[in-house]
Chain A
Amino acid sequence: AQSVTQPDIHITVSEGASLELRCNYSYGATPYLFWYVQSPGQGLQLLLKYFSGDTLVQGIKGFEAEFKRSQSSFNLRKPSVHWSDAAEYFCAVNNNNDMRFGAGTRLTVKP
């Protein structure tokens, strides 16, 4: 069965610093890939998605992600973190409606 691994449970960065959240998936083919963000007590909001084509995808709020087939990775990046980016981030893969999420990475932003 396909699976999604987010190795970092919790990350703390200083405001203005760069950010990279890791995501690895286990599946034979290239599924659809997603990053979602969840603020406390809220539902999930889609940041960006990858289906095919350019392996560097741009999303909302200044986020981008790079798909690396050889590493089965889809890491999320932001060059300069803002205090409002503090939230939980989920990587997800979808293959033929079988949607699997990672366990999430909680981001804390230090002033």
Chain B
Amino acid sequence: NAGVTQTPKFRVLKTGQSMTLLCAQDMNHEYMYWYRQDPGMGLRLIHYSVGEGTTAKGEVPDGYNVSRLKKQNFLLGLESAAPSQTSVYFCASGLAVYEQYFGPGTRLTVT
């Protein structure tokens, strides 16, 4: 039981490049979330999903897209990366809205 895993752990992009972050969970959770963490600002919710095939916007969704084609995976895409998207990205999953288990994070740098 691996819990919540995130791929990759680190990534450096140039401005304008695209990439996809993968979050996978093996706990059969319905709910999955993507957050970004910036110094002095805590975590901010980007997008979330309440089940396979569903997605919804969080607090800071601009510049990101997500997909939940399979229950166990939640993908976060950056179509045209900007330096403002330099951050640490965390995925979380849970059985219910009040329960979230976090992955180890992905550190993204956009130059």
Chain A interface residues (CB < 8 Å from chain B):
4, 9, 32, 34, 36, 41-46, 49, 51, 90, 92, 94, 96-104
Contact A103 B41 (CB under 8 A): yes
Q: Which residues of B in the span 95-111 have a Cβ within 8 Å of any Cβ on A?
A: 97-105
A97 to B47, CA, bound (A): 10
The chain A residue with its CB closest to the CB of B98 is A32
A98 to B48, CA, bound (A): 9
Given A43-B90, A44-B90, A45-B102; A98-B45 close (CB under 8 Å):
yes
- How many residue pairs at the A-B interface have CB separations less than 8 Å? 56
Please pick, from A41, A44, A96, A102, the residue contacting B97 in the complex, using a CB distance under 8 A: A96
Contact A94 B102 (CB under 8 A): no
**What 6 pairs between A and B have smallest CB-CB spacing?**
A43-B102, A101-B42, A101-B43, A44-B102, A32-B98, A103-B42
In the complex, what residues of B have CB within 8 A of residue A34's CB?
A: 98
* Contacts A43-B4, A92-B43, A99-B33 known; 15 new A-B pairs at CB < 8 A: A9-B40, A34-B98, A43-B90, A43-B102, A43-B104, A44-B90, A46-B100, A90-B43, A94-B97, A97-B31, A99-B58, A99-B100, A100-B59, A101-B44, A103-B40
| B interface, size bucket | 20 to 34
Chain B interface residues (CB < 8 Å from chain A):
4, 31, 33, 35, 40-45, 48, 50, 56, 58-59, 90, 92, 97-105
A4 to B45, CA, bound (A): 13
The chain A residue with its CB closest to the CB of B103 is A43
In the complex, what residues of A have CB within 8 A of residue B4's CB?
A: 43
20 A-B residue pairs with Cβ-Cβ distance under 8 Å, sorted by A, are A32-B97, A34-B98, A41-B105, A43-B90, A44-B92, A46-B100, A49-B98, A49-B99, A94-B97, A97-B48, A97-B50, A98-B59, A99-B48, A99-B100, A100-B45, A100-B59, A101-B35, A101-B43, A102-B42, A104-B42
A46 to B43, CA, bound (A): 14
